[in-house]
Chain A
Amino acid sequence: MSYINSKRSVGDVFAGFKRQITQERVDAYAAASGDHNPIHLDESYAASTQFGTRIAHGMLSLALVAEMLAAEFPDTWHDGGKLKVRFSAPVFPGEIVSTYGEITEIEDSGERKIATCTIGCKKPDGTDAVVGRATVPLE
C-alpha cells in the first residue's frame, strides 16, 4: 500500500484542477480518438445543430476526470479502478471546466480496501458536464 493511499479516509476532497477547453484541445482529441464528427470540428455544420456551435467531445471532459483520478491514486487507479458517469451538459470551446471528487465510502473486504468517490467536471456556471462515481483500490 502506498503511503498516500494508506492515509485516505472518507471525506477526503480531491485537489481537482481547471482546464480551458480550447478548440485546439478539441482538435487534438479528435486526432487521438479518431472521432472526427463535424459537430466537434466544423463550425458551419455545428451551427445547424441543436447546440448552435461546436461542442467538445464528452469523452474529453471525462478524460479530465480520469486524469484527476490518476493523479490522486497513482499506484492503483489503473489497476482495478472503475468509473460510471453520465454526460449532463455540453462543453463549448473556450469554456474553463473544473474537475472535482471526494471519497464517500471505504470498503474493506479483507483482501483489498476500495474507495468509492463522487466525481465530476463542472462548467463555468457550476452545472455538471460530467457527474458520476468511481471506485478505486487503495492497496
Chain B
Amino acid sequence: MAVPLISTATVGHEFGPYDVTIPESRASAYVAAVGGIESPEYGDTLAPIIIVAAALTELIEDLGLFSGGLQTVHAGQEAGWTRQVKIGEKVSATGKLTAKSIRRGNHFATVSVTYSDSSGAEIGTSSTTIIVSGEPSS
C-alpha cells in the first residue's frame, strides 16, 4: 500500500481546490441528520457546517486517512463565516497544512481551509486538527 500523504506531507502542502457545492439531496440529508423542532428555518440556504464537513471529507481522502491500519481522531475544529450560502451555490475550498508534528508515534496535523464563492470572494474559513496513529496495512 502506498504511504499515506499524512506521513509525507510537509507544512505548507496545499490541498484542493475542492468543489464543495452542496446539492439539494445532501442538504436534505443534513436536515434529516441534524434537524429537530428547535432548528432554525434555513429555506434555500445551508448551515455552514455542512460545507466544512464536505471539505473535511475531501481532506481525509487526500491525506490517506481511510487507509487500513490507521486510526484517526478528529481532535479540534474551528470555523467562521461571513455570509450564508445557498443550496447548490458553487463553493470551492482550498486547504493548507499549517502544522504537523509527531509525538509518541502519533501524527498531529492541522489543515486550514479557505472557502470561496464563484466570484473568488472569501466566504469562510476553517481549521481542522487531527491525530493519526498506527501504520497503513499492506
Residues of A near any B CB (own CB < 8 A)? 15, 17, 19, 24-26, 28-29, 31-35, 37, 49-50, 57-60, 62-64, 66-68, 70-71, 74, 78-87
Taking a contact as CB atoms under 8 Å apart, the answer to whether B47 and A29 are in contact is no
Q: Tally of A-B residue pairs with Cβ under 8 A?
A: 125
Chain A proximity of B60: nearest CB distance (Å) = 7
Known: A33-B53, A87-B76. A70 touches B47 (CB 8 A): yes
Binary A-proximity of B43-75 (CB < 8 A = 1, otherwise 0): 001011110111011101000001000010111
**Residue of chain A at shortest CB distance from B80:** A82
> Which of under 10, 10 to 19, 20 to 34, or 35 or more describes the interface residues of B?
35 or more
Question: What is the CA–CA distance of A32 and B33 in the complex, to the nearest angstrom?
Answer: 8
Chain A proximity of B134: nearest CB distance (Å) = 10
Question: Is B78 engaged at the interface, CB distance under 8 Å to the other chain?
Answer: yes
Question: What is the CA–CA distance of A33 and B26 in the complex, to the nearest angstrom?
Answer: 7
Knowing that A59-B74, A59-B77 are A-B contacts, what are 13 other residue pairs whose CB atoms are under 8 Å apart, sorted by A's residue number? Answer: A17-B36, A25-B34, A29-B33, A34-B54, A35-B53, A59-B52, A63-B33, A67-B35, A82-B78, A82-B80, A84-B76, A86-B76, A87-B73
